[in-house]
């Protein structure tokens, strides 16, 4: 009980703004610009906005489902907030490392064919493991702030949609090196957040011994 209450108190420190910023960092719309441009390369120009909006909507629905049903899912799987915090921190740390040190073969590893559906744009580009773990962690720790978390998720998806709809223009304006630099900067921030999540989980675990 002590560990659960401590986690809940920690979650209550989050605000609408801080959660929105956190979700934007995790979904990483700027960092996803090269991926979306590459995947949509074989899609007709007039069709691309519809595909982007569809994939963002799918990602939003997936994250919303996990956000609403996250606590029930944790109960069914007999998982605690502490285990989710540690697992989420580890996954977020690995995602952040990939942002800082991207693979040479790119995020896809192969030539995109045809119009994408759900994979890889909605999942895992936007609604990846770290985003799913984060929304579940938020609602399991502070279910009373559900409307605030849903609002933060809505704003995050709106930002992702706007950035990705302007992906070609943004890459031309900033240049590929600048976009890459932003992604690595976001990765550094996420490393710090993930390490803090892991350390907090370890501190709570040690208190329970």
pLDDT digits (tens, 9 = 90+) for 91-105: 778 877 877 887 654
109 located within any domain: no
Higher-pLDDT residue of 113 and 196 is: 196
191 located within any domain: yes
56 located within any domain: yes
Higher-pLDDT residue of 164 and 75 is: 164
112 located within any domain: no
110 located within any domain: no
**DSSP calls for 107-166:** TTSS---S--BSBTIIIIIIS-HHHHHHHHHHHHH-GGGHHHHHHHHHHHHHHHHHHHHT
- Number of Cα atoms under 13 Å in the Cβ half of residue 141: 23
Residues 67 and 149 sit within 8 Å (Cβ to Cβ): yes
State residue 104's pLDDT score: 53
Q: Which two tokens stand for residue 146?
A: 């559900």
Higher-pLDDT residue of 9 and 104 is: 104
Q: Which two tokens stand for residue 71?
A: 């606590």
List CB contacts of 39: < 8 A, sequence separation 6 or more: 108, 112, 116, 120, 121
Q: How far apart (Å, rounded) are the C-alpha atoms in residues 45 and 43?
A: 6
Q: How far apart (Å, rounded) are the C-alpha atoms in residues 135 and 59?
A: 12
Q: How far apart (Å, rounded) are the C-alpha atoms in residues 129 and 91?
A: 7
Nearest Cα residue to 201 out of 71, 61, 22, 10: 10
Average pLDDT (121-150) is: 87
Q: How far apart (Å, rounded) are the C-alpha atoms in residues 100 and 163?
A: 20
* Percent helix, strand and coil across the chain, each to the nearest 5: 80, 0, 20
- Range(s) of the domain holding residue 155: 2-104+118-208
State residue 124's pLDDT score: 82
User: Has residue 110 got a pLDDT over 70?
Assistant: no
57 located within any domain: yes
Q: pLDDT tens digits, residue range 50-70?
A: 999 999 999 999 999 999 987
State residue 1's pLDDT score: 34
pTM (global) more than 0.85:
no
Q: Which two tokens stand for residue 15?
A: 């605000």
Average pLDDT (10-27) is: 81
204 located within any domain: yes
How much of the chain, in percent, has pLDDT values that exceed 70? 89
pLDDT confidence of 112, banded at 50, 70, 90? low
State residue 208's pLDDT score: 84
Number of separate domains in the chain: 1
65 located within any domain: yes
pLDDT confidence of 38, banded at 50, 70, 90? confident
């Amino acid at each position: 009980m002590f560990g659960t209450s401590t986690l809940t108190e920690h979650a209550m420190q989050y605000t609408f703004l801080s959660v929105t910023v956190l979700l934007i960092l995790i979904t990483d719309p700027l960092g996803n610009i090269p991926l979306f441009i590459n995947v949509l390369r074989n899609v007709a120009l007039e069709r691309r906005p519809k595909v982007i909006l569809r994939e963002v909507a799918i990602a939003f629905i997936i994250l919303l489902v996990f956000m609403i049903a996250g606590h029930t899912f944790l109960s069914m799987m007999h998982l605690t907030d502490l285990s989710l915090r540690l697992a989420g921190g580890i996954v977020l740390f690995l995602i952040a490392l990939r942002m800082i040190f991207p693979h040479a073969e790119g995020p896809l590893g192969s030539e995109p064919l045809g119009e994408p559906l759900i994979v890889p744009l909605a999942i895992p580009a936007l609604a990846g493991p770290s985003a799913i773990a984060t929304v579940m962690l938020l609602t399991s720790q502070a279910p009373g702030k559900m409307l605030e978390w849903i609002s933060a998720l809505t704003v995050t998806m709106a930002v992702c949609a706007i950035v990705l709809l302007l992906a070609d223009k943004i890459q031309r304006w900033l240049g590929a090196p600048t976009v890459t630099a932003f992604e690595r900067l976001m990765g550094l921030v996420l490393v710090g957040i993930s390490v803090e999540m892991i350390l907090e989980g370890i501190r709570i675990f040690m208190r329970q011994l």
